[in-house]
Amino acid sequence: MFFDFFSKPRPQQKLPFATDMHCHIVPGVDDGSPDVETSLQLLESMNEWGLKRIFASPHSTQDNFENTPQTLAEPFAALKQGAGAMPVELDFHLEYRIDEFFIDQLEAANVRPLPGNYLLIENGFSHEPWGIDNLVCDLMNRGFNPVLAHPERYHYYSRKNARRLKELHDLGLYFQINLLSLAGHYGKFERRAALSLLESNMVQFVGTDLHRASHVESINSYLCSRNFEKDIKLIGHLHNDAL
């Protein structure tokens, strides 16, 4: 018997869900896609992964990207027009950094959540925002379902205080991990942290967090990997398609 010692490329598989709720493909509004042409290239890749419903989530951060539903209307319309007859349903919400600009928009009732009033929020990467417990409760009292973006990437949790994540989750905060974390794009530690949250049943959503071509390359490689074949059992039951 002859053995083939040259491994054949593994076929790229599709994602076990059809809805992405975290990506940066609205052109020219944040650190994601700079123009419509790039956005369409990203959309083509997303469609190849099996994504049919895509909720773009531009950053809303004080000073850097003070996006609002009003300022995003025109660039999002340009994206939809460019997408034309592509077989994908497009909508947008925002990824809100917990800062004074977000609080001002919240008080003005000028925030844009996902269907089901899921509101995507993110921490800063250096430390936990002051008063986050009270904020989560306030958001829920206002009728929102707050979702914390990529908790596996906040090292002050995953490296120093993993129990804190359980406290926040028990408080009612939903978690959304990044597909890029599972793909190893940020490093082995972030992948392990994301898997730990999945295995602890603390993850409700997974998002691509797609910004650029290098992210496409990482996800393409992941979808051809043995890691994805193992992970698919963990991410196949999440709530993306219930949005």
pLDDT, averaged in runs of 10, over the chain (243 residues)? 48 94 98 98 98 98 97 98 96 98 98 98 96 98 98 94 96 98 97 97 98 98 97 96 97
* pLDDT, tens digit (0-9, with 9 covering 90-100), for 151-174: 999 999 988 898 999 999 999 999
Q: What are phi and psi of 37, to 5 degrees?
A: -60, -45
Q: Which helix (H) or strand (E) holds 198?
A: helix 188-199
Whole-angstrom distance, CA of residue 208 vs CA of residue 219: 8
- Pull the structure tokens for residue 163: 């129990």
Task: Give the list of residues 6+ apart from residue 184 with CB closer than 8 angstroms, or none.
Answer: 190, 191, 218, 222, 227
- Pull the structure tokens for residue 209: 């967090």
